[in-house]
């Protein structure tokens, strides 16, 4: 086709120089070309015109971009794609290409690297059968590429030896997603061309039958067929025509491999036969599982291999040879019967996922997440009732609503409650009150019962063993739903750096428990999901995440720090993750540093969750004293998750903890619209920023790989120079604040195991820590007054967090209580005349500080609700501007999204259909 080559060269002369044709397949002709822009050799593949005519340029080029984002060591990347317009005169030499009466024909092309080597087809042709080790290695490499693509939503659809390149012995999968793009763009019109997507010898039965929904299990089948051919010299099914091959694919069982080649390990044969099962549900759920089976010498398939034609089973009498007519009749009957059976046996269509935004009536609306943390929703196991946090008289309370009714009903005795969880029979609801009391309410009118009043709990769960599980100061405990002895099932007291456990979830049958742990000074993206067998198994890390729930499909559903919902194949008896993660959804609400997440799953597949609050949508905002919010810089996209912020003394810059790419660092943003620059580097996580009094340095806490090394470092705010260690210590710090005169550093230790947080101080240039407030209670949020005379902090010494003030540094000489209805996060106005804090109703309070030599509080005024703004764990959620008129805060998503409640039906069916 020299004329076509010349015309294509003319059409693409500004980008590529075509040398010569190097191959042709069912969908494309391949040319060796030179990429002029990048001075490199490439393989330029031109789609056959009849295929391009059916698909259309715009749709094909849009679909093929899916593959451009696949970056894997065993996937041949997509460099470029486009269309070339060629005059019809150049096509007369090839009638097969002359499909249009117009004078111009559009060719679609895509560009990939030119790989010096050979295809797997070339090697099979040359060697007939490959060494077992080579065949298994190549399959494993291809499987890793497929698994990666499947997790990104791309199914290849045309795995065959021709599409597997061998470069320096390593496998590279080519044409990734080309068949998918053709299928999506061309739809049913593909049959009009007489062309098929896929190659009959490697087609799965469902693909051969023309099923519209092709899953990753189809690629597993094709890869199994390729390995079968590498080991035996032939594909599992052969025939003189494509129709004959398809008939055998649909009706016959693959011949056993060991009689053909005795050196094939039995577990390899077993894995191949599992991959080649007719029904997708009987194959491996993922390419990763296939690869794992190939490496597991103990793997055994449930497949029963057929006896080879002409052979007899040991001890069986010789059979008479049937007449030729009988053979023909049997063959026709077998094909007809198999076709009928396929219609009966093939998987039923997966029920569609239906999602609805639940509208709650006025006076019954979902309330803001409580400051003590927890979930706001629960759903019964049968999916017939939901409980949620609704309005109450003074404090929010729990409401119950049947799914077949429009109205909800308040639950008596649930005031101040959150984190509801159903009993297994759905007749009772447990909940956490004010973060410390575990209660059980009846949905049938019985009185509410208190089970335990000294918890330190974000959430709870009700196991099939009849126990209620909840969090305590040093781990997870359980108690009978009628009260009685509290038994601790997990303790982190001996685990250095662990600061707390949250979100206990009991596995079915109470065989195990999953929960979250977090460490001192740890970014939310590094929180870990743990698992253990019950009642006293050894806890071990399962994955990173904020919250986990078990799905009856055999998956662990995990909510990540950035609001994604993923599923991991999970063995609940061993309490172990068994496969790669599967992406399910985005936009799950993750608030308050991971302490507020609303996700509930029923046993029949109904998922209940709230949206908004995803880390990627966080924005820095100024909030006025009247509560109006405006973005600090509307054009600023931090490209990561903002966890905490601190404002420089002059108000001209902010320092932020930013999670990006699996690590956390301190960045500085020049206000209002200046650059955003990273100032910490290295192998540690840097969190909890604080400015030096002169604004030239930013102090931060360092956490090496989540182990809490207990040091305070300082870095120049302009990013120059190396960081310096300010306070080395064996303690784990949770917050640091310099005094305005630069003479002191006030620090707060982290809660770790049974050890409560204390407030200490160290003089500048010294390393000796001086206790300021050290009691059996938790002392949090230290804040020095601008004149250095007063230390404000929050403590739960009374049973609830309240704000107190002591003289500094003589803190033992006096103490005043500022708040009376709960209080946290104290912060001084720059002139020292006001003390701001958040009360128990999550309202910003401005307390007047009267002038004088002794401390005295005057009028206290409510300013606005802080519910829409992020509270990053045990770090203040706001900073005060130099004029005292505005507050720097973090807003999660759009305010309108904060109370959107989503109900998703048929979630389990959708998850079962995932590879």
| Rounded alpha-carbon distances, angstroms, from residue 128 to 116, 122, 234 | 21, 10, 8
Selected catalytic residue, list 80, 122, 147, 158: 158
First to last CA, the chain: 43
Contact in structure between 529 and 558 (CB atoms under 8 Å)? yes
Contact in structure between 838 and 819 (CB atoms under 8 Å)? no
CA distance 460 to 430: 8
Task: Note the maximum CA span of the chain.
Answer: 115
DSSP code string of 322-340: PPHHHHHHHHHHHHHHHHH
Q: Return the half-sphere exposure (C-beta side, CA atoms, 13 A cut-off) of residue 884.
A: 14
Q: Tokens 């103990």 map to which residue?
A: 298
Nearest residue to 546 via CA among 588, 609, 497 = 588
Which positions ≥6 away from 620 have C-beta within 8 Å? 631, 632, 633, 636, 642, 645, 654, 656, 669, 888, 889, 890, 891
CA distance 81 to 845: 59
CA distance 236 to 257: 9
Helix (H, G, I), strand (E, B) or coil at 96: helix
Helix (H, G, I), strand (E, B) or coil at 571: strand
CA distance 607 to 383: 9
> Within 10 A of 365 (CB to CB), how many other CB atoms are there?
16
147: annotated active-site residue: no
Q: Tokens 């076509």 map to which residue?
A: 4
**The token pair that represents 897 in the structure block:** 């999204």
Contact in structure between 871 and 596 (CB atoms under 8 Å)? no
Q: What angle do CA 259, 263, 268 make, to 5 degrees?
A: 85
CA distance 362 to 298: 61
**The token pair that represents 836 in the structure block:** 């701001």
Nearest residue to 837 via CA among 881, 878, 784, 798 = 878
Q: Per this entry, what is the length of the chain?
A: 915
Nearest residue to 864 via CA among 578, 628, 546 = 628
Cis peptide before 231 (omega within 30 of 0): no
Q: Tokens 């549900």 map to which residue?
A: 281
DSSP code string of 408-432: -EEPTT-TTEEEEEE-TTSSEEEEE
Edge-to-edge strand ranges of the sheet holding 641-647: 641-647, 653-660, 663-670, 676-678
| Rounded alpha-carbon distances, angstroms, from residue 341 to 133, 209, 228, 345 | 37, 13, 25, 6
Enumerate the active-site residues: 158
């Amino acid at each position: 086709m020299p004329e076509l080559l010349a015309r294509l060269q003319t059409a693409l002369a500004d980008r590529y120089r075509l040398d010569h044709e190097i191959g042709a397949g069912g969908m494309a002709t391949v040319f060796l070309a030179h990429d002029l822009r990048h001075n490199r050799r490439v393989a330029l593949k031109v789609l056959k015109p009849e295929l391009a005519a059916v698909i259309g340029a715009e749709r094909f080029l849009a679909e093929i971009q899916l593959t451009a984002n696949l970056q894997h060591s065993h996937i041949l990347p997509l460099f470029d794609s486009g269309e070339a317009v060629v005059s019809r005169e150049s096509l007369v030499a090839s009638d097969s290409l002359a499909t249009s009466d117009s004078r111009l024909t559009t060719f679609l092309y895509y560009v990939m690297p030119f790989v010096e080597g050979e295809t797997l087809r070339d090697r099979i042709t040359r060697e007939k059968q490959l060494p077992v080790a080579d065949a298994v290695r190549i399959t494993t490499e291809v499987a890793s590429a497929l698994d990666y693509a499947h997790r990104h939503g791309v199914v290849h659809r045309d795995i065959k030896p021709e599409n597997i390149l061998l470069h320096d012995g390593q496998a590279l999968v080519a044409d990734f997603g080309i068949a998918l793009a053709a299928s999506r763009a061309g739809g049913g019109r593909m049959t009009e061309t007489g062309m098929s997507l896929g190659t009959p010898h490697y087609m799965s039965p469902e693909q051969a039958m023309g099923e519209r929904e092709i899953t990753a299990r189809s690629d597993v089948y094709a890869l199994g067929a390729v390995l079968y051919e590498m080991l035996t010299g032939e594909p599992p099914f052969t025939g003189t025509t494509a129709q004959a091959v398809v008939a055998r694919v649909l009706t016959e069982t693959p011949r056993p491999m060991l009689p053909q080649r005795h050196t094939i390990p039995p577990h390899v044969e077993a894995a191949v036969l599992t991959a080649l099962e007719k029904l997708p549900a009987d194959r491996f759920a993922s390419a990763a599982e296939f690869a794992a089976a190939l490496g597991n010498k103990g793997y055994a398939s449930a497949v029963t291999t057929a006896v080879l034609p002409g052979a007899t089973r040991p001890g069986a009498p010789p059979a008479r040879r049937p007449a030729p007519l009988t053979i023909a009749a049997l063959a026709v009957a077998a094909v007809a019967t198999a076709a009928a059976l396929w219609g009966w046996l093939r998987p039923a269509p997966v029920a569609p996922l239906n999602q609805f935004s639940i509208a709650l009536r006025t006076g019954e609306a979902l309330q803001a997440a409580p400051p003590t943390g927890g979930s706001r929703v629960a759903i019964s196991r049968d999916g017939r009732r939901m409980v949620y946090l609704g309005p109450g008289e003074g404090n929010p309370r729990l409401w119950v609503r049947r799914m077949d009714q429009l109205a909800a009903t308040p639950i008596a005795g649930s005031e101040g409650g959150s984190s509801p969880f159903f009993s297994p029979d759905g007749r009772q609801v447990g909940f956490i009150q004010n973060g410390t009391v575990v209660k059980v309410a009846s949905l049938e009118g019985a009185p509410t019962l208190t089970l335990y009043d000294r918890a330190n709990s974000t959430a709870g769960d009700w196991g099939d063993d009849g126990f209620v599980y909840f969090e305590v100061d040093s781990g997870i405990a359980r108690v009978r739903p009628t009260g009685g002895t509290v038994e601790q099932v997990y303790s982190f007291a001996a685990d250095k750096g662990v600061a707390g456990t949250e979100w206990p979830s009991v596995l079915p049958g109470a065989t195990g428990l999953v929960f979250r742990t977090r460490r001192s000074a740890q970014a939310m993206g590094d929180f870990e999901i743990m698992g253990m067998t019950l009642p006293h198994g050894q806890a071990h890390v399962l994955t990173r995440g904020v919250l986990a729930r078990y799905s009856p499909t055999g998956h662990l559903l995990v909510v990540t720090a950035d609001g994604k919902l993923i599923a991991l194949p999970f063995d609940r008896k061993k309490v172990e993750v068994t496969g790669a993660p599967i992406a399910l959804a985005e936009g799950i609400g993750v608030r308050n540093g991971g302490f507020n997440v609303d996700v509930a799953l029923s046993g029949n597949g109904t998922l209940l969750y709230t949206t908004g609050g995803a880390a990627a949508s966080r924005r820095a905002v100024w909030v006025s004293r009247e509560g109006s919010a405006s973005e600090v810089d509307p054009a600023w996209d931090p490209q990561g998750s903002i966890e905490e912020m601190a404002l420089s003394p002059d108000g001209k810059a902010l320092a932020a903890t930013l999670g990006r790419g699996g690590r956390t660092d301190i960045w500085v943003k020049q206000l209002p619209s200046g650059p955003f620059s990273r100032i910490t580097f290295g192998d540690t996580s840097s969190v909890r920023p604080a400015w030096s009094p002169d604004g030239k340095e930013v102090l931060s806490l360092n956490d090496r790989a989540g182990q809490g090394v207990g040091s305070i470092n300082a870095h120049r705010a302009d990013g120059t120079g190396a960081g310096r260690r300010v306070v080395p210590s064996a303690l784990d710090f949770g917050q640091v604040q310099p005094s305005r005169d630069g003479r002191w550093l006030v620090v707060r230790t982290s809660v770790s195991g049974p050890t409560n947080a204390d407030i200490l101080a160290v003089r500048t240039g010294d390393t000796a820590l001086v206790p300021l407030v050290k009691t059996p209670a938790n002392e949090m949020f230290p804040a020095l007054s601008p004149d250095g005379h007063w230390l404000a902090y929050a403590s739960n010494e009374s049973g609830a967090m309240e704000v107190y003030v002591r003289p500094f540094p003589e803190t033992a000489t006096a103490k005043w209580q500022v708040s009376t209805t709960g209080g946290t996060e104290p912060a001084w106005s720059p002139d020292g005349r006001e003390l701001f804090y958040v009360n128990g109703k999550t309202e910003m309070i401005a307390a007047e500080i009267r002038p004088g030599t002794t401390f005295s509080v005057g009028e206290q005024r409510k300013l606005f609700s802080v519910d829409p703004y992020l509270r990053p764990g045990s770090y203040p959620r706001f900073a005060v501007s130099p004029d005292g008129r505005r507050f720097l805060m973090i807003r999660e998503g759009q305010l309108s999204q904060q109370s959107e409640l989503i109900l998703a039906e048929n979630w389990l069916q959708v998850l079962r259909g995932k590879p």
